[in-house]
Chains A and B, each alone.
Chain A
């Protein structure tokens, strides 16, 4: 299948991305309200329940919304990093599971090791497993010319089933009752970031990663080469003499590693064990998160928190207003479509053609 051109995506600076994001949120609110009304729900009730459940109090915000946003920010960064390089990694979901499996395995096998040693090992194994999960699609793209959109999606299914196999088989808890692993060693767990809340150091890791990626993309030679390959592989190869294959390899594996980290952080920071349905599709939502942020790492933090709030609020909406949580999927889709529509309108406004004559 064809390699998809990356320039189809609007790469945006932060302020620009935030304005588009605000517009998209407003558009989503209007269309979403109409759809809810058609569905027989009260949009006002839905909105208040949702906001109460996500931003209702400082405690709610930190312990629920921010905690929920961590895997979204990390997978969002993974997707943004890949898309920036023109790599269509739709496989964050599978890479996340690979990272979670590896982290849990390390957390179980390494019990007895001190935290200063075990914790880095847990994080490292998540990174390596995520990258390894991206390796098959990477090689198929580079060596065989098979497009990564399909192969990464296929690997997602394999990843989910491998995790399922692990919790039913080799890594199942000692009691052998539930499809889950035993809790990982204390020393393998990420400490809390804010004492008294559930916010763990995964958030700190996400913020540090945002900083690192921003600096790499903006100031390093590799980051520049990555952006060039993403914007135009031909120009990067011909005018920049950039080894596009190498850039694709590094960015694809890097993206996989970040997605793997998301899985590792989730089990090490929050669940402390592996479950079959660890992720409610974060790897796919990540595409919306990254896109809404204009593929800008700093923007990913903001949109990640927004989607975290959406998912946190969905529970409250179902509980308090009796509106099915599945509506969140509709809202996420509306956000993506709204961004696409706004991009289009803006492009039409700024269209410049000079191919006359």
Chain B
């Protein structure tokens, strides 16, 4: 076995009252791809950010090449040969690709000519091809991800750390990335990566470390243990939602298997004829950068889950807003019911107002309904009742409905949003990545609620970048690629099948 390049031991880190890491260990060896697994909130990103110099640990040792170091800034980490590829893009949109690559370098290394030459050399070697002169804002997410990786490689790191690099990539792009990571490891580097999905990690990693509640609970090669062992290490004795773990239909041995698509909804619809609750026809949405949604026609029936899969940035955001009645269309016709519930993917900036208490956040949507108004006045008695109902019905952990939404945990915030939007959605609910950033229990809860709503005859449009979520919940599946929508036939309902449509190239349309 090759030598240890980086070793973190006993790392502890708190954010205010929240303990993110509480005794986390990680050992990275040259020549290996090291997967880091853990449920949401387990502390994966925090641990990698500490290794990348973005965050400082409260306690614990960071050793590079056997020597203890204090990484107080990203520069320190670079000096130690550590390159971090962030989970959230850390590019400056208004600067060019080249400027972004040069950012942070000083002296001769920052000269545009030097940076360009070096970038071209790395692109040649890795096959990561990106145009250097456009502004980053004009590029898609896939390109941005490549720039992030290129940026890290530019400093020739011996330890490359990637935090959830696959979230915005198609299955095919993920394969390409994994190939590259294996090559990089083959050159003697250590590669550490956080990936949300267990089976992806099992594919690529030589070794896997599992974090649970801020602690390292298992570190082993993927062949040494069964998938079940890793899953149990991740979730401990918690209830398990296989969808949230990203297991899809693959591992029936863990917990309760996912429902067959349409199983429950089909039951509820039996005997009642299908009623259309929403219909968009030949809808096109254009903005300054061109068409975002192209000529989309769609009907949503009562009591069905219509899944729309797509890689971020392909128009599903705009389509979601159109279906929710939040965005005007450039062309085409839209027919929506009066009451549309909308679970925005952006909980913290669009779903809730952090400064407002629960009462006010519930009122934010309900103020549209006539029964909560009297003339120009709001009926706060009824609004408070509604907020109280949501708090108890959805188990929101908050001292009272006067608690500010900003002080709740992500899961509890999502419960408020889900509760509120379900109260709004008497006919149609549009849910956009409704479980993003939630832990297992919270994800399971959201899925349950969606199923319950469907059984009551509400039509649900589920837009998600999470293929497993789409596959497990949908009655019909569409894929969106570059603004165009294609239905995926039942025979092709698999990650690979739907993934091909998400690329847009293999679909038979156009």
Cβ–Cβ < 8 Å partners of B40 in chain A: 357
Q: Is B349 within 8 A of A232, CB to CB? A: yes
Q: Is B353 within 8 A of A220, CB to CB? A: no
Q: B387 to nearest A CB, angstroms?
A: 14
Stretch at the interface among B260-268, B364-372, B458-466, B493-501: B364-372
Nearest residue in B to A229 (C-beta to C-beta)? B353
Q: Is A1 among interface residues, defined by CB-CB distance under 8 A?
A: no
Task: Give which listed residue, A7, A224, A357, contacts B46 with CB less than 8 A.
Answer: A357
Stretch at the interface among B12-20, B97-105, B217-225, B298-306: B12-20
Stretch at the interface among A48-56, A192-200, A275-283, A346-354: A346-354
Cβ–Cβ < 8 Å partners of A236 in chain B: 353, 364
Stretch at the interface among A103-111, A151-159, A238-246: A238-246
Given known A-B contacts A238-B326, A240-B368, A221 and B15 have beta carbons under 8 A apart: no
* Interface 1/0 per residue, B41-54 and A, CB below 8 Å: 11111100000000
Q: Is B254 among interface residues, defined by CB-CB distance under 8 A?
A: no
Q: A43 to nearest B CB, angstroms?
A: 38
Q: Is B146 among interface residues, defined by CB-CB distance under 8 A?
A: no
Cβ–Cβ < 8 Å partners of B368 in chain A: 240-241
Q: Is A219 within 8 A of B378, CB to CB? A: yes
Given known A-B contacts A219-B377, A238-B342, A238-B344, A356 and B355 have beta carbons under 8 A apart: no
Q: Is B380 among interface residues, defined by CB-CB distance under 8 A?
A: yes
Q: Is B351 among interface residues, defined by CB-CB distance under 8 A?
A: yes
Q: Is B363 among interface residues, defined by CB-CB distance under 8 A?
A: yes
Nearest residue in A to B350 (C-beta to C-beta)? A238
Q: Is B350 within 8 A of A239, CB to CB? A: yes
Q: B371 to nearest A CB, angstroms?
A: 13
Given known A-B contacts A238-B326, A357-B40, A228 and B16 have beta carbons under 8 A apart: no
Task: Give which listed residue, A7, A224, A234, A351, contacts B378 with CB less than 8 A.
Answer: A224
Q: Is B373 among interface residues, defined by CB-CB distance under 8 A?
A: yes
Nearest residue in A to B355 (C-beta to C-beta)? A231
Cβ–Cβ < 8 Å partners of B410 in chain A: 354
Cβ–Cβ < 8 Å partners of B407 in chain A: 352
Q: A15 to nearest B CB, angstroms?
A: 14
- Residue total for B at the interface (Cβ-Cβ under 8 A): 48
Q: A118 to nearest B CB, angstroms?
A: 30
Q: Is B445 among interface residues, defined by CB-CB distance under 8 A?
A: no
Cβ–Cβ < 8 Å partners of A341 in chain B: none
Q: Is A235 among interface residues, defined by CB-CB distance under 8 A?
A: yes
Q: Is A235 within 8 A of B349, CB to CB? A: yes
Q: Is A235 within 8 A of B364, CB to CB? A: yes
Q: Is A296 among interface residues, defined by CB-CB distance under 8 A?
A: no
Task: Give which listed residue, A221, A240, A352, contacts B17 with CB less than 8 A.
Answer: A352
Q: Is B356 among interface residues, defined by CB-CB distance under 8 A?
A: yes
Q: A264 to nearest B CB, angstroms?
A: 26
Q: Is A7 within 8 A of B367, CB to CB? A: no
**A354 CA / B347 CA spacing, docked (Å):** 14
Q: Is B17 within 8 A of A241, CB to CB? A: no
Q: Is A354 within 8 A of B364, CB to CB? A: no
Cβ–Cβ < 8 Å partners of B18 in chain A: 352-354, 356
Q: Is B325 among interface residues, defined by CB-CB distance under 8 A?
A: yes
**A352 CA / B351 CA spacing, docked (Å):** 19
Q: Is A235 within 8 A of B350, CB to CB? A: yes
Nearest residue in A to B43 (C-beta to C-beta)? A357
* Interface 1/0 per residue, B417-457 and A, CB below 8 Å: 10010000000000000000000000000000000000000
**A263 CA / B380 CA spacing, docked (Å):** 36
Cβ–Cβ < 8 Å partners of A272 in chain B: none
**A236 CA / B344 CA spacing, docked (Å):** 12
Task: Give which listed residue, A222, A239, A357, contacts B364 with CB less than 8 A.
Answer: A239
Q: Is A357 within 8 A of B344, CB to CB? A: no
Cβ–Cβ < 8 Å partners of A228 in chain B: 353, 356, 360, 364
Q: Is A241 within 8 A of B325, CB to CB? A: yes
Provide a sorted-by-A list of 10 A–B residue pairs whose CB atoms are within 8 angstroms.
Answer: A221-B373, A225-B367, A234-B349, A237-B326, A239-B342, A239-B352, A240-B364, A241-B365, A354-B16, A356-B13
| 14 other A-B residue contacts (CB within 8 Å) besides A234-B350, A235-B350 | A219-B378, A220-B376, A224-B360, A224-B363, A227-B360, A228-B360, A235-B364, A241-B368, A352-B16, A356-B15, A357-B38, A357-B40, A357-B41, A357-B44
